[in-house]
Amino acid sequence: MTLSVWALPSADMTTAQEKNELTQTPLLKIWVPWLGMGGCKLSCRRGSSVPQLTNSPTLIVMVGLPARGKTYISKKLSRYLNWIGVPTKVFNLGQYRREAVQSYKNFEFFRPDNEEAMQIRRACATNALKDVVIYFSKDHGQVAVFDATNTTRERRISIVSFSKEKGYKVFFVESICDDPDIIAQNITEVKVSSPDYVNCDKDEAQADFLKRIECYKQSYVPLDDEKDRHLSYIKIFNVGSRYLVNRVQDHIQSRIVYYLMNIHVTPRSIFLSRHGESELNLLGRIGGDSGLSPRGHKYATALGGFIKGQHIKDLKVWTSHMKRTIQTAEHLGIPYEQWKALNEIDAGVCEELTYEDIQENHPEEFALRDQDKYRYRYPNGESYEDLVHRLEPVIMELERQENVLVVCHQAVMRCLLAYLLDKTSDELPYLKCPLHTVLKLTPVAYGCRVEHICLNIEAVNTHRERPGNVDVTRDPEEALKTIPEHF
Amino acid sequence: MWIFRKCLFLPIILVSPFSLPCAVCMTNCPTLIVTVGLPARGKTYISKKLTRYLNWIGVPTREFNVGQYRRECLKIYKSFEFFRPDNEEGLKIRQQCASAALNDVRQYLADGGQVAVFDATNTTRERRETITVFAEQNGFKVFFVESVCEDPEVIAENIVQVKLGSPDYTNCNTEEAMEDFKKRIKCYENSYETLDEVLDRHLSYIKIMDVGRRYLVNQVQDHIQSRIVYYLMNIHITPRSIYLCRHGESDLNVKGCIGGDSGLSPRGKEFAKYLRQFIQSQEISDLKVWTSQMKRTIQTAEAVSVPYEQWKALNEIDAGVCEEMMYEEIQQHYPLEFAMRDQDKYRYRYPKGESYEDLVQRLEPVIMELERQENVLVICHQAVMRCLLAYFLDKTAEELPYLKCPLHTVLKLTPVAYGCKVESIYLNVDAVNTHRERPENVEVSRMAEEALLTVPAHQ
């Protein structure tokens, strides 16, 4: 290790940057230069706990024959990116086609020699790309997923030139599958119920769709190791047993690859539950690290019974590091793992206060929180936005796992639920996650089926709705109107 | 030990002893990583880097380099002839070395190791089959990491960087060494069987092609393999430098208080100006500047006058109930906590706060992004900088909390060969010392003076 003392040459050091004054933005608690002084050097969107590491918009282009999971991947990827704060939208060519051609007759539309249909399909692609441009330039989108077969080199080349012209980065996601069982399963799950086949019976739909696939097979040219070596892409083989990754350009593509390599389609269920009712819950206090109330213990026992009754294979149980989730898990009689990342949102100076206390001691903070509950950061604490970033590794591991029960907390559960059910950041902080209720989530088709199982043990309500008046000037009664009852 | 980590409940739980959130379940089966590739393809570079990363995130890992074993066995290296495929005696010795290494692997994984990296060419299917059988017999999972590269410039550069300086060539000049090594590579080429898409479809592996331009990933079995793949796909070898420094001296620093969110002292502001001049003088292309979300790092960056990005993950360690206290106050109000911290500074968690161990977990995405980036200046805090430094300089969990990271000093880290060159540049602005050494007496029964013996001077 070399040491040196650096001597400053005598030069004039006073610059316009003399102002080292900073102020902290009230909502996000971000330090910014005193506004009004010719701009600061903070390069990007303020407020998120993680830098936005993307500059050019990215166009993700799906590639693959029908029934290879392109739409499944598009929707899932879009859900993930939106959840971590990257505005993303899917542009599904099939939708455009359905709008252009009001009623679908049969597979003949997709025959390669059907000139009229070809024209319509090309027009749809052009319209979809036009919408992508609008999404990026006017709607502040960051990532667009172009969900179509894109099975010919010609089509892909035109997309690449389009992107180059506009200054978008392109990343291809190709799904290759030759397992007939998987393909048949796909067709049953999502094609047979598509608007295209609303007037057909299952077998007819299945047969027609298989012929549709044949229409594409002739002209299908997969991404080529040699010819396409300058493109950025991931090739997914047989639902994830193998991946080929070429020329990852930047952070967001790296995250996309990591995500795609961790998801699977094996059937399983995710169970979400809060800890049993806690002592502080009873008192209407937020945060803290208290133990379970007597009713909370009852719930934990009931939860144990419920879990046994479900006969779940190889269930993994996760808790936070806080006493109340651990006490709950103890009653289950199954090994569990503790994640610090699952700890409840840190309410900073408001820890262990009642809403009444917060209104009395921090009325402005209380109002700011109601104005933007997702981005609002407690003084010396966290925001929901911070929570989402904290929870990202949990989500990644949830994707890898199969049957999991997560015993966590209200704000944490809202974040996880928002990811699984594709809720916006506006909806997220108001999702209903009552005590003593288990949510069973089972992936199905393009989404998630939710079952609410209330285990019939009384508990306080901890859900506070957004009040009518969110101005800092409001009266205390207006602020406290929506507070749930407590002791 | 439980008390340090503020875990109140002990029974049937699987509290992960490592920083990895779910280490125990994910990695109850030890993992054997097996490198594959011709000489000078970066296998040892990858092995060492991967080992360093896994140890840092809390997965006990060790590499076993067969070349070392061969050097111990053979004492003197004569020439490439040793590696000729028709050299019976040479083959026998090499076989023995591989076996000796595998024996040590078995020992290590039985003794608490989680991951072993078996660094050798392993270029034949036969050799890999032997290893797979060995792993199966011992209950280890196997993950192959193959490096394939045909770019003659890259290979030549490798040879220059790490082979010429190898113990094998201490008595040769550059040209001789280069010639001999190239002939050595040739010895392996004929029998080289790359991992095959069809024949090896049941194996778990990643094939790295052309130094990371392309990857083939097959049958990832579990969490740790997934993390390894992600890491390997994010590292690169483009030359660059990483600059680490703390914020300028803060008002709370001057008072001898820890934590908090205060602004810069006058000397701290002075430092920030000097930092700007220093950065300009370095003429760094495309420098990225990162700060935490605390006032003092941001004030520092503002003075440097380049665009910067804020990471909450770079915030200083949360001292919980001890925030903004002086060490004397901590001793007064929490003498038990103070002693426990001295007993195990890495794992100790402040009440309602964090431990260094928590910090490492929090910083992992920062490290991952640092690996992806090129020239970066990170303006952070003492505990944070210790964690980052420990990653780059391969320091243990015991050393980490005592690494010296004084104020007003920039560390310039430049990757070279298998490690990192460090230059320490003191920017000549006085500042308090904030480094507290581990005192002699760490017993909870100790006297206040003994606890406070190593507290640095302050106002």
Q: Are residues B135 and B247 in the same domain?
A: no
- Which of B 252-281 lie inside 8 A of A, CB atoms? 263-264, 269, 272-274, 277-278
CA distance B119 to chain A (A): 24
SS (H, E, C) chain A: CEEEECCCCCCCCCCHHHCCCEEECCCCCCEEECCCCCCCCECCCCCCCCCCCCCCCEEEEEECCCCCCHHHHHHHHHHHHHHCCCCEEEEEHHHHHHHHCCCCCCHHHHCCCCHHHHHHHHHHHHHHHHHHHHHHHCCCCCEEEEECCCCCHHHHHHHHHHHHHHCCEEEEEEEECCCHHHHHHHHHHHHCCCHHHCCCCHHHHHHHHHHHHHHHHCCCCCCCCCCCCCCCEEEEEHHHCEEEEECCCCHHHHHHHHHHCCCCCCCCCEEEEECCCEHHHHCCECCCCCCECHHHHHHHHHHHHHHHHHCCCCCEEEECCCHHHHHHHHCCCCCCEECHHHCCCCCHHHCCCEHHHHHHHCHHHHHHHHHCCCCCCCCCCCCHHHHHHHHHHHHHHHHHCCCEEEEECHHHHHHHHHHHHCCCCCCHHHCCCCCCEEEEEEEECCEEEEEEEECCCCCCCCCCCCCCCCCCCCCHHHHHCCCCCCC
Residues in CB range of B337: below 8 A, 6 or more apart: B322, B330, B350, B351
pLDDT at A44 over 50: no
Query: How far, rounded to the nearest angstrom, does the alpha carbon of residue B287 sit from its chain's CA centroid?
Result: 22
Contact A243 B215 (CB under 8 A): yes
Residue B403: inside a domain, yes or no?
Answer: yes
- We report the CATH number of the domain holding residue B352 as 3.40.50.1240
Note whether B327 and B448 are same-domain residues: yes
> Residue B120 belongs to a domain with what CATH number?
3.40.50.300
Residue B428 to residue A248, Cβ atoms within 8 A: no
Looking at chain B from residue 410 to 449, which residues have their Cβ under 8 Å from any Cβ of chain A? 422-428
Are residues A6 and B427, on separate chains, in Cβ contact within 8 Å?
yes
How many angstroms separate the CA atoms of B32 and B159, rounded? 27
Query: Where a domain ends, among B205, B233, B261?
Result: B233
pLDDT, one tens digit per residue, over A133-180 is 999 999 999 999 999 999 999 999 999 999 999 999 999 999 999 899
Q: Note whether B74 and B113 are same-domain residues.
A: yes
Could you give the maximum distance between any two Cα atoms of chain A, in Å? 86
- B403 lies within 8 A of chain A by CB: no
Query: For residue B264, which residues of chain A lie inside 8 Å, CB to CB?
Result: 20
DSSP output for B306-333: S-EEE-GGGSPP--GGGTT-BHHHHHHH
B299 located within any domain: yes
Q: Are residues B140 and B284 in the same domain?
A: no
3-state class percentages of chain B: helix first, strand second, coil last, to nearest 5 = 45, 15, 40
Nearest to A400 among B11, B223, B424 (CB): B223
Inter-chain CB proximity B295 and A22 less than 8 Å? yes
Which residues of chain B are within 8 Å of residue A244 when distances are taken between CB atoms?
A: 214-217
Contacts of A5 in chain B (CB under 8 A): 425-426, 428
Residues B203 and B329 in one domain: no
B203 and B319 together in one domain: no
- In the block, residue with structure tokens 């209903």: A432
Name chain A contacts of B263, Cβ cutoff 8 Å: 20, 22
Q: Give the pLDDT confidence of A420-471 residue by residue, as tens digits.
A: 999 999 999 999 999 999 999 999 888 899 999 999 999 999 999 999 999 9
Tokens of A135: 């999404």
Cβ contact A20–B264 (<8 Å): yes
Of B233, B255, B275, which marks where a domain is finished?
Answer: B233
Based on the domain organization, do B264 and B410 belong to the same domain? yes
Task: Name the residue range of residue B440's domain.
Answer: 242-452
Cα–Cα distance measured from residue B197 to residue B155, given in angstroms and rounded to the nearest whole number: 25
Determine the Cα–Cα distance for residues A54 and A343; give it in Å rounded to an integer: 29
Classify residue B229: in a domain, yes or no: yes
| pLDDT above 60 for A14 | no
Residue B155 inside a domain? The answer is yes
- Same domain (yes/no): B165, B275: no
Cβ–Cβ below 8 Å for B13 and A51: no
pLDDT of residue A439: 98
Taking an 8 Å cut-off on Cβ atoms, the answer to whether B298 and A31 are in contact is yes
Domain count, chain B: 2
pLDDT tens for A279-336 read 999 999 999 999 999 999 999 999 999 999 999 999 999 999 999 999 999 999 999 9
Across residues A405-420, what is the average pLDDT?
98
Is B152 touching A (CB cutoff 8 A)? Answer: no
SS3 B97: helix
CB A46 within 8 A of CB A30: yes
Q: Is residue B56 part of a domain?
A: yes
Closest C-alpha to A474, from A356, A366, A375: A366
Mark yes or no for CB contact A244/B214 under 8 Å. yes
d(CA A371, CA B333): 39
Does residue B351 sit at the A interface (CB-CB below 8 Å)?
A: no
pLDDT in tens, chain B (459 residues): 333 344 333 333 333 333 334 333 344 799 999 999 999 999 999 999 999 999 999 999 999 999 999 999 888 888 999 999 999 999 999 999 999 999 999 999 999 999 999 999 999 999 999 999 999 999 999 999 999 999 999 999 999 888 888 889 988 888 999 999 999 999 999 999 999 999 999 999 999 999 999 999 999 999 999 999 999 999 999 999 999 999 999 999 999 999 999 999 999 999 999 999 999 999 999 999 999 999 999 999 999 988 999 999 999 999 999 999 999 999 999 999 999 999 999 999 999 999 999 999 999 999 999 999 999 999 999 999 999 999 999 999 999 999 999 999 999 999 988 899 999 999 999 999 999 999 999 999 999 999 999 999 998
Residue B205 lies in a domain: yes
Put simply, whether B164 touches A (Cβ < 8 Å) is no
Q: Which CATH fold would you assign to the domain A58-261?
A: Rossmann fold (3.40.50)
Residue in B8, B9, B422 nearest the CB of A1 = B422
**Out of A174, A297, A331, A344, which one is annotated catalytic?**
A344
**Which residue on chain A is closest to B297 by alpha carbon?**
A31
What does the longest C-alpha to C-alpha distance in chain B come to?
74
- The gap from C-alpha A137 to its chain's centroid, in whole angstroms, comes to 23
Q: What is the ipTM of this complex?
A: 0.91
Q: pLDDT band at A3, cuts 50/70/90?
A: low
Residue in B with minimal Cα distance to A397: B223
Q: Is residue B267 part of a domain?
A: yes
Let me know if A116 is a catalytic residue: no
Residues making up the binding site of B: 246-253, 296
Which residues in chain B have their CB less than 8 angstroms from residue A1's CB? 422-424
Beta carbons of B14 and A33 less than 8 Å apart: no
DSSP bridge pairs for A354:
A285
The domain segmentation of chain A, as residue ranges, is: 58-261, 270-481
Residues B206 and B280 both lie in one domain: no
Q: How many whole angstroms separate alpha carbon B232 and alpha carbon B215?
A: 10
pLDDT of residue B109: 97
For the record, the structure tokens of B24 come out as: 């125990």
| pLDDT over 70 (residue A55) | yes
Answer whether A146's CB lies under 8 Å from A61's CB.
yes
Whole-number pLDDT of residue B362: 96
For B21, name the nearest residue in chain A, comparing CA atoms only.
A339
**Using CA atoms, how far apart are residues B132 and B110, in angstroms rounded to an integer?**
17
Closest-CA residue of A relative to B202 is A241
Same domain, B182 and B264: no
**How many beta-carbon pairs below 8 A join chains A and B?**
181
- Going across the sheet that includes B242-246, the strands are A2-5, B419-426, B409-416, B242-246, B376-380, B288-291, B308-310
- pLDDT for residue A4: 54
Assigned token pair, A339: 């994640």
In a domain, residue B86? The reply is yes
Selecting among A275, A297, A409, A436, the annotated active-site residue is A275
pLDDT digits (tens, 9 = 90+) for A86-134: 999 999 999 999 999 988 889 999 998 999 999 999 999 999 999 999 9
The domain made up of A270-481 is a member of CATH 3.40.50.1240 = yes
Inter-chain contact A22–B302, Cβ cutoff 8 Å?
Answer: yes
Contacts of A41 in chain B (CB under 8 A): 301-302, 304-308
CB contact under 8 A, B21 and A393: yes
Residue with more model confidence, A59 or B2:
A59
Of B233, B266, B298, the residue that ends a domain is B233
Residues of B assigned a catalytic role: 247, 316
What are the backbone angles phi and psi of residue A73, rounded to the nearest 5°?
Answer: -65, -45
pTM: predicted TM-score of the whole model, two decimal places: 0.92
Residues 292-331 of B with CB under 8 A from A: 293-295, 298-299, 301-313
Per-residue model confidence (pLDDT) at position B235: 96
